[in-house]
Structure 1
Amino acid sequence: MPTDAKLLLLDRDVVAPSLQPDRVLAAVREAFILHSQRAGRVFPLVRTKLHTGGVFGIKSGDVASQDLLGFKAAGFWPGNRGLGGDLHQATIALFDPHTGRPLCIMDGNAVTTARTGAAGGLGTQLLAHPESSRICVFGTGVQARVQLEYALMLLPQRCTVQYVTSGGELAPSFEAAFQGRCAISLARDRNDAVAGSDVVITATTGGGALFDADAVRPGTHLTCVGSDTVGKRELPEGLLQRARIVVDDLNQARSIGECQWAPELPCTEIGDLLAGAASAGRSANDITVFDMTGLALQDLTVARFLYRQAIEKGLGTSVAWPW
């Protein structure tokens, strides 16, 4: 057995600056297409509540043709707010599928943020009308910010943005992050903001319906991020029945996403749209919903380019990991 085996560690300060949006978009697109073509596998999801009040999950999978194997251990710890830390915590591990030896362990928080933002951006690019220029965002946290970043990047029109906070308070730092890129302001009424928008982004903790169903006009696109656990929801009852639904993974969407509330409804996987296996065409009056629960393959394709880049540039910390 070799005694000089190494394990590469990539912390936040290495990972975050390496997440160039164009490379993240390409990796996430590849992940969706691999999933559509069943060239990449998604293993059964682990998602469970802990005695500490946290939620712990494992998303794992592989791409045999690329010798890509790994998992992300992640979850949500609301108690971190009082500690000044991120509520979401994630760690990604890559393995050699021939030997089972670990190759790399990296911070997964920045990866999760970026790959989820890229996924939402791809959905908006595919499903929103090209002339869309009015956006409503529910939430002002990390995920709301990255979803808006990618939407502004990928929509061809200059946009005006209204954001909704849980208590109706201003979020100066959120506004400041987008100054100069769009006209941004706090929504006075959430239903009016939805009714006046072409694109609605929901990026909250999924504690309940965020607006009334009849506020959504024909032609609206909705990107839904917050429902990722049994019992969570952001959309009002009855809206999915009016919408054309696109998901990242059908089984996950129906078990932990918005589609858990209407699992009988037909859905299209976004990978099928990107691979050309299904049509992305929509009429002017179609309401579209992208129900995102997150694929292990997204984490793995992004982690792969980060690992390779770190090797090429000599980044990270290599530690002895003998057999």
Structure 2
Amino acid sequence: MSDSPTAPAHAPIPDDGKRLRLLSAADLAEIELPLADVVALVEGACRTLHLGRSANPRKLRVTPQGGHSVAYAMLGRDGSRGIVAVKTSYKHGLHKGRSEQHYYTTLTLYDDVTGLPIAMMDCARIGALRTAAVSALLARELAVPGARSVLVTGTGTQGRLTLPFLLTALPSLDRLMLFGTYAEGVRAVREQLRTHFPDRDVEVVSDLRAAVADADVVVGAAGGHTPAAVEAAWLKPGALSILVGHGLAPSTLHGADRVIATSAAQMHVTGKDMADTAGALPAVDAEFPAVLAGDSPGRTGPTDRIFAYNSGLVVTDIALGHRFSRRASARGLGTEVALWQ
């Protein structure tokens, strides 16, 4: 199914431009996309960005003194679909446990062909899917050839999604390890994995250092309160470490042979907790969209220890959000509001 603006791709919307379709988390939960489709949509958005046909400016960030909350705003344009979008996210209670935090994120899409609004939607699921898809693409492109083992730290949303997406992109992985401290979260990781790969299971590890020593790919997908802090010295030659949330110590970045980021500018906005004692971050060797396109090298040798920083690109949210909005419209999901009347 094409998402090109030259095809009848845009969701039906009012032609007066005064109403907006609102899509709740419950609406979007009614729609399923195969994992391979999600990966393909995200990969296409990254490639279009690298070609200069899309725009993904550096995100804005605000946080108060004391750091009890953080808010981000991202503006972007998808050139292959002719869609402009704004994404916002706000998290409150950063010093509290996960269950006590408040998190809100939205994505608003506008049709830059007709000049009309398309939809405003909850972006939590879209953001979670695109992040896990990017991790899978990073592993596909940057892991040592013949990679067989992966370790994931964390059992939250990304901890649960990472393994199914990794197996979608790297089906040769045969040892799946998990470091998690919540029994309920471990069960959820297993359930998510078996939903997509019924014949696969995950090995729960307690000796983090020993597991890291055996892992070709290490994904830091834990929350901010994780006890996990993988050090560079634990990684074997050729290992790829991917940072999504927490679970990797700064040494994995500063001691890497190569540093790849989805966006160097955004790493310097959201990656400050990985800075050295002087508050500095190392230079990025390549941005991932260029690696995907084959215009910049990712791995240069089998023993390279690579650090990959997975920060959100709003163009990938747009690609997924547009697909979800089309599916929702076709099924009559959502609520239209006369926002501008």
TM-score range relative to shorter protein: 0.7 to 0.9
Distance of 1:188 and 1:206 partners within structure 2: 19
Q: Is 1:115 the equivalent of 2:133? A: no
Q: Corresponding residue for 1:256?
A: 270
Alignment partner for residue 133 of structure 1, among 132, 148, 157?
Answer: 148
What's the secondary structure of 1:42's corresponding residue?
Answer: coil
Q: CA deviation at 1:14?
A: 2.6
Distance of 1:162 and 1:312 partners within structure 2: 40
Distance of 1:284 and 1:182 partners within structure 2: 28
Q: Is 1:285 the equivalent of 2:307? A: no
Distance of 2:39 and 2:315 partners within structure 1: 13
Inter-CA distance 298–322: structure 2 relative to 1 (3 Å threshold):
same
Q: CA deviation at 1:302?
A: 1.2
Deviations 1:243-300 (A, max 9, x none): 3221111111133227654534242111112222223454221112220111111111
Q: CA deviation at 1:122?
A: 0.7
Inter-CA distance 4–45: structure 2 relative to 1 (3 Å threshold):
closer
Alignment partner for residue 77 of structure 2, among 55, 58, 62?
Answer: 62
Q: Is 1:45 the equivalent of 2:63? A: no
Structure 2 counterpart of 1:63, one-letter code: D
Q: Is 1:317 the equivalent of 2:335? A: yes
Q: Is 1:150 the equivalent of 2:169? A: no
Distance of 1:265 and 1:84 partners within structure 2: 36
User: Is the CA contact (8 Å cut-off) linking 1:250 and 1:269 kept in structure 2?
Assistant: yes
Inter-CA distance 3–84: structure 2 relative to 1 (3 Å threshold):
same
Structure 2 counterpart of 1:199, one-letter code: V
Structure 1 counterpart of 2:293, one-letter code: A
Alignment partner for residue 271 of structure 1, among 289, 297, 320?
Answer: 289
Inter-CA distance 183–82: structure 2 relative to 1 (3 Å threshold):
closer
Structure 2 counterpart of 1:21, one-letter code: L
RMSD (Å) for aligned C-alpha atoms: 3.1
User: What is the number of residues matched between the two proteins?
Assistant: 317
Alignment partner for residue 190 of structure 2, among 137, 161, 175?
Answer: 175
Inter-CA distance 82–281: structure 2 relative to 1 (3 Å threshold):
closer
Inter-CA distance 288–217: structure 2 relative to 1 (3 Å threshold):
same
Structure 1 counterpart of 2:140, one-letter code: Q
Structure 1 counterpart of 2:230, one-letter code: F
Distance of 1:176 and 1:167 partners within structure 2: 14
Distance of 1:317 and 1:186 partners within structure 2: 43
> More displaced, 14-23 or 267-276?
14-23
Task: Give % identity.
Answer: 25
Structure 1 counterpart of 2:175, one-letter code: T
Structure 2 counterpart of 1:152, one-letter code: L
Distance of 1:144 and 1:192 partners within structure 2: 19
User: Is the CA contact (8 Å cut-off) linking 1:250 and 1:267 kept in structure 2?
Assistant: no
User: Is the CA contact (8 Å cut-off) linking 2:156 and 2:223 kept in structure 1?
Assistant: no
Q: CA deviation at 1:86?
A: 7.3
Q: Corresponding residue for 1:11?
A: 24
Distance of 1:240 and 1:305 partners within structure 2: 38
Q: Corresponding residue for 2:235?
A: 216
Q: Which runs of 5+ in 1 are unaligned?
A: 228-232
Distance of 1:28 and 1:189 partners within structure 2: 34
User: Is the CA contact (8 Å cut-off) linking 2:218 and 2:241 kept in structure 1?
Assistant: yes
Distance of 1:252 and 1:108 partners within structure 2: 19
Inter-CA distance 282–44: structure 2 relative to 1 (3 Å threshold):
closer
> More displaced, 154-163 or 46-55?
46-55
Distance of 1:34 and 1:127 partners within structure 2: 20
Task: Describe how 1:79-98 pairs up with structure 2 within 5 A.
Answer: 88-97=103-112
Inter-CA distance 15–243: structure 2 relative to 1 (3 Å threshold):
farther
Q: CA deviation at 1:73?
A: 0.8
Distance of 1:39 and 1:188 partners within structure 2: 46
User: Is the CA contact (8 Å cut-off) linking 1:92 and 1:105 kept in structure 2?
Assistant: yes
What's the secondary structure of 2:266's corresponding residue?
Answer: helix
Distance of 2:107 and 2:126 partners within structure 1: 9
Q: CA deviation at 1:148?
A: 1.7
Q: TM-score, normalising length from structure 2?
A: 0.81
Q: TM-score, normalising length from structure 1?
A: 0.85
Inter-CA distance 281–289: structure 2 relative to 1 (3 Å threshold):
closer
Q: CA deviation at 1:117?
A: 0.6
Q: CA deviation at 1:181?
A: 4.1
Alignment partner for residue 206 of structure 2, among 182, 185, 188?
Answer: 188
Q: Which runs of 5+ in 2 are unaligned?
A: 1-14
Structure 2 counterpart of 1:8, one-letter code: R
Deviations 1:196-230 (A, max 9, x none): 11110101234687122210011111121016xxx
Deviations 1:32-59 (A, max 9, x none): 1122122211234222225792211111
Q: CA deviation at 1:15?
A: 1.8
Structure 2 counterpart of 1:22, one-letter code: A
